[in-house]
Amino acid sequence: MGELEEVNKQQEKFYKGHPNDETIMRSSLAEFITKKLTGEKLSSSVQAEMRKLRQTLSLPEPVYYTISFRAACLAAQRATDAKEQADKWQLVEGLIGEKNSQVPYLTMGELCLEGGNKKLAILAIRKEKRYEQRFNMLCDAEAWLEAVEEVFANKRLAKDDFSDNIDRIRREGPAFVEDFIKEAEKKRGR
């Protein structure tokens, strides 16, 4: 059976269980997997079914796990009560904390921002090893305190780059970033 037929077969099976959702048959593979993983009853059989589909389609692990991570963020965002939402965000936080994660940290940060959780987005972004990307993403996320901390913590940063990054924070950030910069300068001067 071809890849397209396998996806259509899985979509058809899912549609029969959810006849009121007409979008299922028009969904992309990523949307379909997300719908399955954010469904009302996420059982181990659903997870196994999705892993089998991933293997059948030879979907690279990082792509599959990125889709799964996004599904976890969406499930947390859509949770109806506070305890359920906290539990689901805790699961996302656990995924961010995994060693050798299949999902790039910047992608995790973007998906957490998309899901409305800036705190976890910052946690993921700060795990990124490449300074330039980490700094840019913190600025894009409007995490001004963390961006200032990154600039002052990076001792290997060239003097021009240091000034450019501080100027960017001043230019793009709100007026109170000046307080963060002054505080960091005080700490650095000690």
Query: Nearest 5 degrees, angle CA 137-CA 143-CA 149?
Result: 90
Given this model, what pLDDT does residue 141 score?
95
Band of residue 19 on the pLDDT scale cut at 50, 70, 90:
low
Pick the closest to residue 36 from 5, 2, 64, 77 (CA basis): 64
| pLDDT tens-digit readout, 50-100 | 777 777 777 788 888 888 888 889 888 988 899 989 998 998 999 999 988
Neighbours of 157 (CB within 10 A): 18
Neighbours of 61 (CB within 10 A): 11
Given this model, what pLDDT does residue 190 score?
43
Return mean pLDDT, the chain: 83
| pLDDT tens-digit readout, 20-55 | 556 655 666 677 677 767 665 555 676 777 777 777
Q: Which residue has the higher pLDDT, 37 or 161?
A: 161
Among 58-67, 106-115, 157-166, the range of highest mean pLDDT: 106-115
Band of residue 169 on the pLDDT scale cut at 50, 70, 90:
very high
Query: Nearest 5 degrees, angle CA 78-CA 79-CA 81?
Result: 140
Q: Which two tokens stand for residue 97?
A: 């904390």
Matching residue, tokens 């409007």: 142
